[in-house]
Structure 1
């Protein structure tokens, strides 16, 4: 038995993005940014430069996911379809000061960024004002009480990074890696999910206008006799809606997928409340739920409007088909009337036909008798009887013609 050509790729997929072993005290900077295809080479150059300056071994392929670590710094790079994420780890102290100059020089447009300070419980209970000023702070016990997390979800400072403070209680090294990665992904997908919000706000007025136009056309279906014009209006409306759907379908679908990932990552934190603070799940649900509903509502309104236009189009087409059938029926009725008039005309002409045939039959008999009988008296007697029998001949011919036309008359 030989190996399947995809066996190795499939087997390694579950190990493609492993969690790292992490220990306090340390600092983490995580950014997500969009990058055009022409900037990919510059992105790889920036990765190489950062890793060489910090004595971090280069992976075989810089264009795919990798995690590489040196003595004091580590780099995690993960490409996605429409953005990439870069995570820099300062392994020797609870600070991110040395990391900022590096990520700022990377190409692309920054979507979001997070700064994580990971400390040990021995540092004591932190004062939130030292990290988050006077803004409202969310905090919770996570990972079954193995760590504590505080954040204000606010992009502070010139860099616009959201600060998160993580305090270790009893985390194992791999648990710490999972926790830090989940916090980074929550911040990433919290922002990427909202990329659809501007599109949703932009299409809502257009959908309202189309909805009103469809309602107007629907009201006119029963009263208007010009179905062709209504059908043309519906076709134009359907074309506009399909254009709108084509422009936004991918964005709304991606947003729905990002919201699902966000929910999964928050659930995986296994939060427990810290008295006096709202959990991260409560903050995200309360603050993002209106935006999520707006995006979902825009997507669903496009789908419902498309279905309604299809139903209205079907109604008008049925009306047009019925009108065509009525016209065909009227045309057939006209043809039947003309056929009946022709038959009546033929019936009227039967009498003339019988007279003509009778005349020719009598003429034929008379000529035959005159040419075949030489005795005058006998010839006169026979001609007299033939003359008397003219009505009889006409009657026989009439019955014969009626018998021939009997079936046609019934049809």
Structure 2
């Protein structure tokens, strides 16, 4: 059987984004980077130098290897950017050198996190003072059953956000998957929040567009405004709304998708709150959801304004069409009156033409009769002319009718 060209890629996709089984204790350092498309070639060249060159033109979405003694590295390509994670012992003399090698990677850092993995809560309590968590903002909860985490989701002086995770006897593979989900939740959360500045920037533009739309609605309702000027301004407003939709569309769609992934990861973690601490779910609901709702509100508002502008344009076009139809009706009535007047004038002219032609024809006949009276003394020219008036007029009228019928095709 012939193999589909995407078969191996689809199968490999199901095995991507898997971390190595975590050692307890250990340190996980991960960077989430935004990499532009024009930086991808430089990124692959960097990876070839880090992990070793690969043959062929295939560009994998996942690479892993050891960058220093006892320090493994996992790189993953995402739809937006990439991530690089180091897995090392809690303390290692090779760690600083590994950091320097990895930080030469192209891209801009969106999130940098260090997860300190310990065996039990007692080991975590000894580690917490060095984390310098904000007392009133420390998040702590159980996840995936026995495991527990501590964090305040703030950047420290070293540029990292720090998380402490205790396995508490949870199976190593289950614990690895749970910690990876915690990390993915944070990555997706930050990517989703990229839409908030875009939404905040678009909100004043939507305010101005809404005010302009309200003004145009009032002006359209008035009769003194010119329709062409109103249509021109409404077209400019529609173009502005289209520009806003184009500018925010991709980012708002991405925010919705990432927010759905955040909710999915929260459900998978089975977070259990602890008394005296805010849980990971509470933190997400309290700070993350309002930002997502703001993005959703901006999208909904832009769609509503575009729909209102479209309805107003339809009403204005209907008014313009009605006015054009009324003007055409008045023009047709005027043309009808003009045609009627022209017809009556034409009939009058035809009548006068019959009289004039008859008069000249009888005059010619009169000259003939007067000349004949010299040969026939008994002939009365005036009497004969009087008798010929009616036949001559009828004959001229009939002749004109015949000419009109033949020339103009009128009945």
CA contact (8 A) 1:17 1:65 kept: yes
Partner of 1:82: 80
Residue in 2 that maps onto 1:198:
197
**Residue equivalent to 2:104:** 106
Counterpart position of 1:141 = 142
CA deviation after TM superposition for structure 1 residue 294, in Å: 1.9
Instruction: Decide whether aligned partners of structure 1 residues 8 and 38 sit closer, same or farther in structure 2, where only a CA change above 3 A counts.
Output: closer
Question: Which 10-residue stretch deviates more, 81-90 or 18-27?
Answer: 18-27
SS at structure 2 position matched to 1:182: helix
Conservation of the 8 A alpha-carbon contact between 1:19 and 1:174: no
Q: Larger deviation: 362-371 or 6-15?
A: 362-371
Counterpart Cα distance in 1 of 2:349 and 2:40: 96
Q: CA deviation at 1:183?
A: 1.4
Count of aligned positions: 398
Give 3-state SS (helix, strand or coil) of 1:86's partner.
Answer: strand
Inter-partner Cα distance in structure 1 for 2:45 and 2:290? 41
Match of 1:180 in 2: 179
Comparing 330-339 with 125-134, which one deviates more in the overlay? Answer: 125-134
| Alpha carbons of structure 1 residues 398 and 37: separation in structure 2 relative to 1, 3 Å | closer
**Conserved in 1, the CA contact under 8 Å of 2:22 and 2:176?**
yes
CA deviation profile, 1:162-198 (whole Å, cap 9, x unmatched): 2222222453333222212111111112112111222
Partner of 1:64: 61
**8 Å contact from structure 2 (residues 112, 160) kept in 1:** yes
Q: How many angstroms apart in 1 are the aligned matches of 2:320 and 2:38?
A: 54
Aligned pairs for 1:266-281 within 5 A: 266-281=266-281
The question of 1:225 aligning with 2:222 is answered no
2 CA distance for matches of 1:321 and 1:364? 63
Relative to structure 2, which stretch is displaced further, 229-238 or 162-171?
Answer: 162-171
For the 8 Å contact 1:58–1:68, the answer to whether it is kept is no
Q: Report the CA distance between 1:286 and its aligned residue.
A: 0.5
Alignment root-mean-square deviation, CA:
3.8
Change (3 A) 1:65 1:361: same
Equivalence for 1:54: none
In structure 2, the residue matched to 1:163 is 162
Assess if the C-alpha contact under 8 Å between 1:75 and 1:87 holds in 2: yes
Contact 1:354 1:398 (C-alpha < 8 Å) held by counterparts: yes
- Structure 2: gaps spanning 5 or more residues: none
1:9 aligns with 2:5: no
TM-score using structure 1 length:
0.82
Return the alpha-carbon distance in structure 1 between the equivalents of residues 371 and 3 of structure 2: 114
Partner deviation per Cα, 1:246-282 (whole Å, 9 max, x = no partner): 2222222222222222222122112122233332111
Q: Mean Cα displacement is larger for which, 337-346 or 120-129?
A: 120-129
**Residue equivalent to 1:287:** 287
- Give unmatched runs, 5+ long, in structure 1: 52-56
Q: Distance in 1 between matches of 2:338 and 2:179?
A: 90
Distance in 2 (CA, whole Å) between partners of 1:237 and 1:96 is 61
